[in-house]
Amino acid sequence: MMNQSATVLTINQTHAAEQAAVDAGSSFWQLMETAGTAAAQDLLKRSVNSQRYWILCGKGNNGGDGLVMARVLALAGKHVTVSLMQGGVSSDLASQNLAALPDNVVIQAPTVALLLNHDCVIDAVFGIGFEGELSEDLQAVFHALAARPCLRVALDIPSGIHTDSGHLAAHSFQADVCYASQLETRPCDAFCSSALWRHQGIGPRHVMFAGAHSSS
């Protein structure tokens, strides 16, 4: 069920809200820092028994959010592994946050061992800008994760879901928790058990979901 006080924005409206915040004196760096830090701090409270975090990062700004989370979690004493799921990063913000990672963050390509050895997995691959279908490699990883007894977390929206249309790509990431940014609830119902506020400094940012998993 969606929090009735939440504001629902389309992809374009979300981008416009972010730009308005920057025009008012913030910065895209600060928005990313605030969002990633808030998500990590909340996750630390919700996953008190988790010690090993695996963060799947895309090449853009959703990946940058994940890298901020990686830094905060590592500085909190957690074991953090980052996998660059698209071979690297392409946005300046993501590159800066990659360079800012503490030395104790492990950067490693996805392997079967990683699937088995982490108790919390964070999807920071695509976010709200996804469209089309997932690559076969991502489908394989997400499909394997769906069967793992670990806490699965998504940033913005689970990778594989189109925010505006609700199209579900095959083997979209299935999240137990989604840190959402004014998302449309309908696309997420099938793939999020719950979605939580992630304050980003541009007004109301929290959307609440409650729905059962379904498999694709």
User: Does residue 4 belong to any structural domain of this protein?
Assistant: no
User: Does residue 188 belong to any structural domain of this protein?
Assistant: yes
pLDDT tens digit string along 80-139? 999 999 999 999 999 999 999 999 999 999 988 888 899 999 999 998 878 899 999 999
pLDDT for res 73: 97
Count the domains in the chain: 1
User: Does residue 216 belong to any structural domain of this protein?
Assistant: no
pLDDT tens digit string along 26-60? 677 788 898 899 889 989 988 888 899 999 999 99
Q: What is the band of 161 on the pLDDT scale with cuts at 50, 70, 90?
A: confident
User: Does residue 205 belong to any structural domain of this protein?
Assistant: yes
CATH code where residue 199 lies: 3.40.50.10260
Query: What percent of the chain has a predicted confidence (pLDDT) above 70?
Result: 74
User: Does residue 215 belong to any structural domain of this protein?
Assistant: no
C-beta of residue 157 within 8 angstroms of C-beta of residue 163: yes
User: Does residue 2 belong to any structural domain of this protein?
Assistant: no
3-state helix/strand/coil string of the chain = CCCCCCCCCCHHHHHHHHHHHHHCCCCHHHHHHHHHHHHHHHHHHHCCCCCEEEEEECCCHHHHHHHHHHHHHHHCCCEEEEEECCCCCCCHHHHHHHHCCCCCCEECCCCHHHHHHCCEEEEECCHHHCCCCCCHHHHHHHHHHHCCCCEEEEECCCCCECCCCCCECCCCCCEEEEEECCCCCHHHCCCEEEEEECCCCCCCCCCCEECCCCCC
Q: Which residues pair with 197 in a beta bridge?
A: 180
User: Does residue 106 belong to any structural domain of this protein?
Assistant: yes
pLDDT for res 204: 31
**Spatial separation of the C-alpha atoms in residues 19 and 109, rounded to whole Å:** 34
Which of 7-11, 64-68, 90-94, 95-99 bottoms out in mean pLDDT, i.e. has the lowest?
Answer: 7-11
Signed CA dihedral, 115, 118, 122, 124: sign only: negative
User: Does residue 191 belong to any structural domain of this protein?
Assistant: yes
Residue 190 belongs to domain spanning: 11-21+28-210
